[in-house]
Chains A and B, each alone.
Chain A
Amino acid sequence: MSVATKTVTAPPSFSRVGVLWASTVGKKALMALTGILLSLFVLGHLLGNLQLYFGRDSTGAYLINKYAEFLHHNKPLLYGTRTVLLVAVLIHVIAAFQLQLGKGAARPVEYHQKESVNSTVSSRYMFWTGVVIFFFVIYHLLQLTLGVVNVPGFREGDVFHNVTVGLRTGVAPLFYVVGMIGLGLHLRHGLYSTFQSLGAGNPAVSQWALKWAAVVATVIALVNLSFPLAVLAGLVKG
């Protein structure tokens, strides 16, 4: 009896993360997931900031300062959250850059004439509104987290003072207005596109997402804008 032998070569192993990152589809899914995470942060950040409008409690301390103290109290939570956000931003931004480069390579010769039949400012300029957000965030951190620009007499922990002084100093109003228009446009398309990127394409769901993304993005942008506008108008002051 003969025994047939067969050399079995193991197929190349399949790296799930590698396959995701190597494809435009996987990269967009990662952008969608990190985008959701960042959007949740934006929402939480906005809700927390609303306390700017609620003044002081019975002990005379500004609510927003007490809230900031509470957030800074738990160091592991604070640094954990910051790390997660930083990693999310890195993934989101690196993927955005790579896809943007790929898009350029995919059409090396431009059309001499090209009409848009079905697009919005928000959907066409996702990359550029992203860049606006990026520079806004850097400015925002330099200003109100580190206190190195546009906050005369920055006081660590006195958020109420820093905000009411900072938001009307120098170029700050410009940064906030442009930044929030950028954020609103980014979210208007991003929150809708996320569903598509993650595979939820049922037309009923897409129509719903298209509508609510616009509503949520507008509300987020307007409420965020209300802070610098209220400070400029002198409605909240120290």
Chain B
Amino acid sequence: MKLTLDIWRQKGASDAGRFETYTVEANEHMSFLEMLDVLNQELIGSGKEPVAFDSDCREGICGMCGFVVNGVPHGPVDNTTICQTHMRHFHDGERLRLEPWRAAAFPVLKDLVVDRSAFDRIIQAGGFISVRTGSAVDSNAMLVEKNKSDRAMTNAACIGCGACVASCPNAAAALFTGAKIAHLGLLPQGQPERTDRALNMVAQMGKEGFGHCTTIGECEANCPAHIKLEAIAQMNGDFLRAVFAKREESAGGGAG
């Protein structure tokens, strides 16, 4: 199958960037990224700069890959990363436009590669959870309601790819931050720091320059990890509760 690709080329952060058009011969068994590998081999062969894009596991589990194909983050296959999207979903002669995530908090580094360290800083702002070290705890010592453990696991599935931000008309990071806050906030191990975690992660999300959530739901529809809008409500609830529950640290608490 023969494809025409309009790919965003940008040498670095200070370059304005532009679309350039390429043609590539692929077959339907290739993954989307393998198709780009083929294109890059040809570019290298003819002495041109290959197209930079992020990838690592190519199994849909690490969250490294991601760009916008014809206006949809991770391309046309619902709830699937671009690395797990195969060329059989496209047809011969199709024209595809490849564009990087667009958000102030995700500056373009090169071509389709953006800097997502804003997500790392949101996670860091969440801090640690208190767990006892030493010998392993009896596995059933801490009971977790089935429903809550299911929801915690659903939210823990977030791979941090950034498609939520990319798809959001407001470039909000609410689904990502919500997933992180929800997966710890639902478990008993996450309770001691729950208040500060919600306050600090939401504050960091703002500092990074992400937009606000308007409950449109583009993020949920584009998320390859099936994170639901409910995660955002959980963040909102935890944050609001934290604002009112927050107590100043006191010197009390006994000798120790």
Contacts and interface: CB of A to CB of B under 8 A. Distances in A.
Interface of A: 8, 10-11, 13-14, 16, 19-20, 22-29, 99, 102-103, 105-119, 123-124, 126, 189, 192-193, 195-203, 206
Nearest to B237: A199
Contacts of B104: 105-108
Interface of B: 19, 68, 70-72, 97, 99, 102-105, 167, 169-172, 174, 199, 202-203, 205-206, 209-218, 220-222, 228-241, 243-244, 246, 248-249, 251
A124 B248 contact: no
A11 B246 CA distance: 13
A118 B248 contact: no
Given A106-B103, A203-B228, A25 B236 contact: yes
Contact of A25 (B209, B215, B235): B235
B250 to A, nearest CB: 10
A163 B254 CA distance: 71
A113 B97 contact: yes
B232 A16 contact: no
Contacts of B248: 10-11, 13-14
18 contacts: A13-B248, A20-B243, A23-B205, A25-B235, A25-B240, A103-B171, A106-B103, A106-B209, A106-B211, A109-B102, A112-B99, A115-B70, A124-B216, A196-B232, A198-B236, A199-B240, A199-B241, A201-B233
Contacts of A111: 68, 71, 99, 102
B199 A110 contact: no
Q: Which of B70, B205, B206, B235 has the most CB of A within 10 A?
A: B206
Nearest to A112: B99
B221 A117 contact: yes
B186 to A, nearest CB: 12
A81 B81 CA distance: 53
Contacts of B102: 107, 109-111
A106 B105 contact: yes
A137 B236 CA distance: 30
A11 B248 CA distance: 8
A33 to B, nearest CB: 10
B212 A119 contact: no
Complex A-B, nearest 10 residue pairs according to Cβ-Cβ distance, in ascending order: A201-B233, A199-B237, A24-B212, A106-B211, A118-B221, A115-B71, A106-B171, A201-B230, A193-B215, A113-B71
Contact of B232 (A99, A109, A110, A201): A201
B212 A28 contact: yes
B72 A103 contact: no
B243 A123 contact: no
Given A112-B97, A117-B72, A203-B228, A123 B234 contact: no
Given A107-B103, A123-B216, 8 more contacts: A23-B203, A103-B171, A105-B209, A109-B102, A114-B71, A196-B229, A199-B237, A200-B233
Q: Which of A14, A23, A189 has the most CB of B within 10 A?
A: A23
Contact of A189 (B103, B210, B215, B233): B215
A105 to B, nearest CB: 6
Nearest to A32: B236
A201 B104 CA distance: 28
A117 B233 contact: no
Contact of A206 (B206, B229, B238, B246): B229
A167 B221 CA distance: 44
Given A24-B206, A119-B217, A11 B235 contact: no
A193 B171 CA distance: 17
A28 B170 CA distance: 13
Contacts of A13: 248
Contacts of B68: 111, 113-114
A61 to B, nearest CB: 46
